[in-house]
Amino acid sequence: MEENKSSEIHASENPHKITLKEASDEFLLYIKDVRGLSVNTVTGYEEDLKHLQEGLGCDFPLEEVKLDSIRNCIGNFSRQGYKASSINRFIAAVRSLFAYSKKFHYIKSNIALEVKTLRLPSRLPRYMTQKEVDQLCSEPDRTPLLWPARDKALFEMLYSSGCRISEIAGLKISDFSSGYSSALVLGKGGKERYVYFEKDAQEALKLYLKEREDKLGNRSSAVKSLFINQKGSALGSGGIRYILGRYSGLEGTNHPVNPHAFRHTFATQMLQSGADIRIVQEMLGHSSISTTQRYTHVTTAQLKEVYNQAFPHSGKKD
């Protein structure tokens, strides 16, 4: 309460009007250092707020920004062919900036609350069939493009656990239980949860760890990250995308997928096999069950199979 009062007094006595750039820089620092948002989120907000600064000018006083000015920026995005999801991200960034500025009394009213997001087309998450998963996970054995043992372990673990790419990239050997059947991962918002690995993933991981130890030699215990590149440095999210791109591209299966497809497949198969949606929510680290409910769709083949089994006149002759 005292902090809010002091901020109000400071704002009212300070003749300097905070500019759009000053407010944006302060806000970005806040979400990075105080709220602890991910690097990708902060970078995305920074890019979106730069668009607003380019449209109005970096030195434009924040409190003089009008609702029509924000809507004009959105209109420019539409004319330039931006996707609705990109425009909504821009709107979210502007809303957050103005909410922050209102909280610290840089502005008297939050005009951004009146900006409405665009309706997105309903899309089901892209997931793989069991045949596609099996083919991709065995591709490093058939086509040794990079580091086959590592790459096979990477694919098996992504599929088996439903982890986000950043969670797999952040894994350390010390995060695992004995036998490598489970691990503690750090998810979005700094939330920890346990994920699990079935036997194929465990066996692939053990083979990779043996090669990892041979490659690193005396450095093995000093390198904490589980997945490393050929030089012995931690493998990041970009490296994982590159590896998957090689094996699912023209040199491999020729069915390009992104790392998130493993997560979608994990969730879909768990729910279609009868797992409780609340359990799947916990395994995926979703904060809202509505996010998990996207995976409750079923395939046409499954619907047809259930229909043929249940309906009494489904083509059966007396």
Residues with catalytic function: 164, 188, 260, 263, 286, 295
Sign of CA pseudo-dihedral 265, 271, 275, 280: positive
For residue 158, report the phi and psi dihedrals to the nearest 5 degrees: -60, -45
Q: Give the C-alpha separation, 185 to 158, whole Å.
A: 13
Q: What is the DSSP string of 289-303?
A: HHHHGGGG---HHHH
Q: What is the DSSP letter of 193?
A: E
Q: Give the C-alpha separation, 55 to 110, whole Å.
A: 19
Q: Give the C-alpha separation, 260 to 233, whole Å.
A: 23
SS3 state of residue 10: helix
Beta bridge partners, 195, equal 183
**Under 8 Å CB-to-CB from 312, ≥6 apart: which residues?**
none
Farthest CA pair distance, the chain:
90
Whether residue 28 contacts residue 102, with contact meaning beta carbons closer than 8 Å, is answered with no
Q: What is the DSSP string of 148-215?
A: HHHHHHHHHHHHHH---HHHHHT-BGGGBPGGGSEEEEE-GGG-EEEEE--HHHHHHHHHHHHHHHHH
